[in-house]
Amino acid sequence: MRLVLWDIDHTLIDMRGVGGRLFAEAFEHALGTPQQHRIRIDGLTDPVIFRKTAIAHGITITDDDFERFAQRLAELHLTRMPEIREQGHALPGAASALAALAAEPDVRQTVVTGNLRATAPIKLKVYGLDGPIDWDAGAYGQDANERAGLVRAALRRAASQWGTIDPARVTLFGDTPADMIGAVENGVRAIGIATGRSTENDLRKAGAAATFPDLTATEEVVKASGGATG
């Protein structure tokens, strides 16, 4: 069996700023103050972004604060699905890449994402990308503070479903250096997709075994994961 791990934001989809607006609304709901400061979020998990943003406002959060934030963020993703669909989009080649890998008989696909467990499926469902993903095997923002920990969580969950998986048969697709580093630290093949802020060179420097400008070269993407089309 081969396992493919997907980052979500800026690898498979781009919400074109809607995600930031929903975050700000959930932040204000949880803490009672509007978000006035933004931090650089590339590669960070939602819980870490929430904590660091609160610190930038002089606030030390509690567990209850985070629970209010997480619940409200999930509610907003559900109620604002039409806005997410209208203003964002699946990135070029994402649907074809997911479908091609799903057609490989020995491949299972899941996510390694900084999104919350409740919001990650909504983001892909909006754009019709959720079907090939095994959500129970994934890793989410609440599972670890950094990407290497998320990869480990996904490997544990995948092993509980399908048995021990050799990391050499696991491939992670992501758009940030943090994604690449998290994969490499776990012996997982890292493939960089330069559809976010990072360049292909940035991703290679962080350990990517291969890079692509986007996911449109379906056959090459499948081959990079260790498979072949045709």
Q: Which residues pair with 126 in a beta bridge?
A: none
Rounded-to-integer distance, Cα 209 and Cα 183, Å? 11
Q: For the segment 48-73, what is each residue's pLDDT rounded down to a tens digit?
A: 999 999 999 999 999 999 999 999 99
Q: Which residues contact 110 (CB under 8 A, 6 or more apart)?
A: 3, 4, 5, 6, 133, 134, 135, 137, 138, 154, 157, 158
- 51 plus 150 within the same structural domain: no
pLDDT computed for residue 40 by the predictor: 87
Residue that finishes a domain, picked among 86, 109, 137? 86
Whether residue 50 is found in the same domain as residue 122: no
Nearest to 139 by CA among 159, 156, 160: 156
Q: Are residues 41 and 140 in the same domain?
A: no
Domain boundary among 66, 86, 106: 86
Amino acid 29: pLDDT: 98
Residues contacting 76, CB < 8 A, separation 6+ = 22, 25, 26
List the domain range (segments joined by +) for residue 42. 18-86
Domain end position, chosen among 53, 86, 119 = 86
Query: Are both 203 and 175 inside the same structural domain?
Result: yes
Question: pLDDT below 50 — which residues of the chain?
Answer: 229-230
Confidence at residue 228, expressed as pLDDT on a 0 to 100 scale: 57
Q: What is the pTM of this model?
A: 0.96
pLDDT at 230: 42
Q: How many domains does the chain have?
A: 2
Q: Judge contact between 137 and 114, C-beta under 8 A.
A: no
Integer CA distances (angstroms), 213 to 11, 16, 182, in order: 10, 18, 20
181 and 175 Cβ atoms separated by less than 8 Å: no
> What is the pLDDT, as a whole number, of residue 43?
86
Radius of gyration for the alpha carbons in the chain, expressed in angstroms and rounded:
17
Is 229 part of any domain?
no
In a domain, 230, yes or no: no
